[in-house]
Amino acid sequence: MLRIILTGILIASCLGTMPASADVVIYRFAKIIDGTGDVLNAHDIAVEGKRIKAVGNNLDKSFAGHVVMMEGLTALPGLIDAHTHITYGLSHYPAGDAWAALGKIGRAERYAAAKTNALKTLQTGVTSVRDLNADQRLDFDLQAAINAGEVPGPRIYTSGPGIHPFNDPLPDGTETASAEFLAEAAKKRIAMGADWIKIFGTTGSASDLTSRAYYSADAIAAATAAAKKAGKRITVHTYGPEAVDAAIAAGVTSIDHPVGMSAAQIKAMASADIIYVPTIDHNRYYAQHANQYGYDADIQAGLRVFVGRNIKAVRQAHVAGVTVAMGSDAVLSGFGENTCELKAFIAAGMSAVDAIQTATVNGAKLLGEDANLGRLHPGFEADFVAVSGDPLSDISAITNGVTVVMKAGELVVDHRVDPAHINQPNCGTLY
Ligand SMILES: [Zn+2]
């Protein structure tokens, strides 16, 4: 009997269901910076399967695993982009009207472009994204393919189609969305399998920088309550302060984009622990790539003004203790520039440590994954980025120095032998 049990254990370990210590791989870095921004007194990260087993020194003496040298490189946790549109993509980006081009292509082409965006995102060191607004189930299909290991890409936290008058036309004869109507809209997304409920609280998108409220505070509260009942998180899009009070009163998880909040609103966000995802940099992106969108000089000037207002809002919110998360709001050719937002945070007065936190621990908190993502800690998902240069003295080490990326224990990017292929976005100038 004993022999049978022992044989069973041996077979199990050969099949890999009981990983032996030989399956541990030790990655040795010049420096390790945790998601808190702290420099750890450690050079090694031991990875077993999809998880971090240990962080320390000389871990090859503790575990029977081989050592992989990450010479001269600094480790950070895999980064989190809290606002993407990964399913918005084209096969190429000529001058013209990119939005019209996006509207003309079929689902297969959209899906192929989404896969390219997923790969470009990994190249920036981002291993998890919250994707906010997708149609034709493109986000759900991409999420499933990535989770199944069929497509390389970041973990995707989905929303399906955002709640918006265009996606949710009002019943004939009504002019405003009732609380019941918006709760039903949230339930539709929950039934689709969305991880998040996104409400477009106001106008404002791309070259449209207006902020007119779409929904009443009661309606936003009803949708939020329905989302929470199903264990889902909720975020509200608002370009100005117009939907901020409603979002705070409803108790949402995050508020995306806004400029021009009052001191009282900022204080209320801080005390309610609502996360601010400012997406400063995407308006810089639109201005810099105006030719692809056909945006004239006036539109470009407006976008740059909005960037300045957004920086001011982040500066105020950060000083007031609001948790800020990095969200690129990347669309189309913006993938690959996902982390340029970090430079905008430095411009808003954050230290490098604060900026790192926006893309690590703060992003993990937003996702409800703070015991799983955003830190280099035993038991966490084995997601890391190895960068050249020192991110604590120059944030460009993160935007332009991503040499190696690991996601869930797998090396998904490795430019140690071909550093010329390191992703080199032109983050341009903000103003
Ligand atoms: Zn967006």
User: 236 CA distance to ligand 1 centroid (A)?
Assistant: 11
Q: Which residues are 241's β-sheet partners?
A: none
Beta strands 233-237; 126-131: pairing state: unpaired
Q: Which residues pair with 414 in a beta bridge?
A: 404
- How far is residue 179's CA from residue 223's CA, in Å, rounded to a whole number? 7
No. of H helices and E strands in the chain? 15, 14
Q: Which residues make Cβ contacts (< 8 Å) with residue 366, sequence separation at least 6?
A: 80, 82, 130, 233, 253, 254, 275, 277, 323, 325
Give which of 74, 155, 117, 86 is closest to 356, Cα–Cα: 74
How far does residue 280's CA lie from ligand 1's centre (Å)? 11
Contact status, residue 159 vs residue 133, Cβ threshold 8 Å: yes
Contacts of 119 (CB under 8 A, 6+ apart): 152, 153
Please enumerate in sequence order all residues whose Cβ is within 8 A of that of 204, keeping only pairs 6 or more positions apart, or say none. 210, 211, 237, 238, 239, 240, 257
pTM: 0.94
pLDDT value, residue 431: 86
Q: How many CA atoms within 13 Å lie on the side-chain side of 166?
A: 9
- pLDDT for 364: 99
Find the 303 Cα to ligand 1 centroid distance in Å: 15
Write the DSSP symbol of residue 393: T
**How many A from CA of 84 to the centre of ligand 1?**
6
Task: Compute, in angstroms, the gap from residue 14 CA to the centroid of ligand 1.
Answer: 47
Query: How far, in Å, is the centroid of ligand 1 from the Cα of 38?
Result: 31
The reported pLDDT for the residue numbered 398 is 98
85 CA → ligand 1 middle, Å: 6
What does the alpha-carbon distance between residue 309 and residue 208 come to, in Å, rounded to a whole number?
15
Ligand 1 center from residue 121 Cα (angstroms)? 16
Handedness of CA 268, 272, 273, 279 (dihedral sign): negative
Give tens-digit pLDDT for 209-233.
999 999 999 999 999 999 999 999 9
Spacing, Cα 149 to ligand 1 middle (Å): 26
* Cα–ligand 1 centroid distance for 354 (angstroms): 23
CA dihedral sign of residues 152, 155, 161, 164? negative
3-class state of residue 254 by DSSP: strand
Cα dist from 215 to 117, 151, 262, 301, 308, whole Å: 32, 38, 20, 29, 27
Question: Near ion ligand 1, which residues have CB within 5 Å?
Answer: 329
C-alpha 380 – ligand 1 centre gap (Å)? 28
Q: In what order do the strands lie in the sheet with 254-256?
A: 196-200, 233-237, 254-256, 275-277
Structure tokens at 428: 């341009």
Give 99 Cα–ligand 1 centroid separation in angstroms: 14
- 170-to-154, 182, 187, 271 alpha-carbon distances in Å: 35, 10, 16, 35
The list of the chain residues with pLDDT below 70 reads: 1-22
Residue closest to 125 by CA, chosen among 87, 77, 89: 77
CA 262 to centroid of ligand 1, rounded, Å: 23
Domains in the chain, please, with CATH?
23-77+375-421 (2.30.40.10), 79-367 (3.20.20.140)
Distance CA 309, CA 298 (A): 17
- Give me ligand 1 centre to Cα 414, in Å: 29
| Distance from Cα 86 to the centre of ligand 1, integer Å | 10
At residue 85, the pLDDT reads 98
Alpha helices (H) in 263-373, listed in sequence order: 263-271, 281-288, 290-293, 297-319, 341-347, 352-358, 361-367
Three-point CA angle 180, 181, 183, nearest 5° = 65
